[in-house]
Amino acid sequence: MRMRNPKYMNEVIESCPFLIKNAINFEKEYPIHIEIGMGKGNFILNMAKKYPHINFIGIEKYSSVASIAIKKIMELEEELPNLKIIISDIKNLEELLKCKVEVIYLNFSDPWPKKKHAKRRLTSPEFLKLYDKLFKGKARIYMKTDNDDLFSYSLDSLKEHGYEFKKISYDLKDENIDNVLTEYEEKFQNQGIKIKYFEAIK
């Protein structure tokens, strides 16, 4: 069930100085990494803090959810010139992001478990063809999920699409990688749920 619109939603969105509407304008021309389905923004926010020489864009199609992330970022004491937000479906962003993206993060995407909804999965062939148009140079996709079926499907889908896997993990907690947690990930770890992870390149 979709969450209710926060009372402050419209005000926060309208006053957001880092919301991208028509053009991407970062202060410095660093590599661009995007998170599709940023949720409440913990991951993209902390990535921007941790890696100041990368430009990050958090993409969220639901205004109600995006407004929570925006409010969180606006309340920071520090400014993050390397962080922008887009409120839109990724399907509508081909022209805006074409040949600009170096890394795509897919964190705890909707698994769309029914077979008839497979085309809606963010690792379906339809979406992978779209991503091909967004990448600048080599394509790199990093994915985290708690869903076994989506993970298996994604491995097969990316392999069919020409990707190779630099890393595959069925329990990210046991891996020695520089991991930034999402809201879901923190919740799942506390519940003892294993997080699946891959790094893919084409």
| Amino acid identity for residue 172 in this structure | L
In the block, residue with structure tokens 């896997």? 165
Task: Point out the residues that are catalytic.
Answer: 110
Q: Phi/psi of residue 97, each to 5°?
A: -105, 0
CA quadruple 119, 123, 129, 130: dihedral sign:
positive
Closest CA to 16 of 60, 77, 69: 69
Q: How far is CA 24 from CA 10, 17, 18, 34, 170, in A?
A: 22, 12, 10, 12, 36
